[in-house]
Amino acid sequence: MQPDKPLDGKVALITGANRGIGLAIARRLATLGASLSLSARDGNRLEAVAADLRKTGVKVAAISADLMRSQDAATLVPKTEQALGPIEILVNNAGVGSFVSVQDATERDWDEMLDTNLKAVFLLTKAVAPGMIQRKSGHIVNIASLAGKNAFAGGAIYCASKWGLLGLTQCAAEDLRAHGIRVSAVCPGSVNTEFSPHGNKDPRKMLQPDDIAHAVAMIVTQAPQSFISEVLLRPTQKP
């Protein structure tokens, strides 16, 4: 392992990786030497992103998946391992949001957000856990949100999914830490991406995708005798 490439030889699976936060995380882990398995629903855009990364010498697998479908989530891990090898790092970044009042929200809103933001994380964690347990090593990083700690009007279902994600993260960390597996959550506030509802916020004062990528890189390069269980990210100035 090269000192400037602490993830050399490691495989990282990143969901929601074709834009925004996921793409920034992919680029940052690539600079640290990781091979990348990138997943997203938009296969064309995903392959374009993968092609750009390959030009820089990074080993990349692009695997299109809709994590609302249990079968897609179930096959993502074996497809990654077939293409690149055992997974050392799983970054559960894929997420959706529909910001409407609880009285106007639909059952479809509920199913879409809970299946993507929470159930898919559970399924992927279960899928990578056996191999990580066998190797006694691994990182699972869940991109949560400050919405998992704070309530706001119009956020009922989204907040429920992120509160649930933090509970899942903390319990999984307790279940897996004895096996050398570290499970962490990154909780950003509003990030300047296509996903976040910006309203009247100044995008220059908002968190940027690279801020979240920096936090993930810090977590997965932590010394082996400890782990960072949770990171809360806020902008220096309120946008």
Question: Catalytic residues, which ones?
Answer: 158
CA 229 to chain centre: 14
- Burial class of residue 44 in the structure, from the number of CB atoms within 10 Å of its CB (0-12 exposed, 13-18 middle, 19+ buried): exposed
Listed in sequence order, the DSSP H helices in the chain are 20-31, 43-54, 70-84, 107-114, 120-135, 156-176, 209-220
Indicate the SS3 state at residue 40.
strand
Residue 114 Cα distances to 82, 93, 96, angstroms: 29, 14, 9
DSSP 139: E
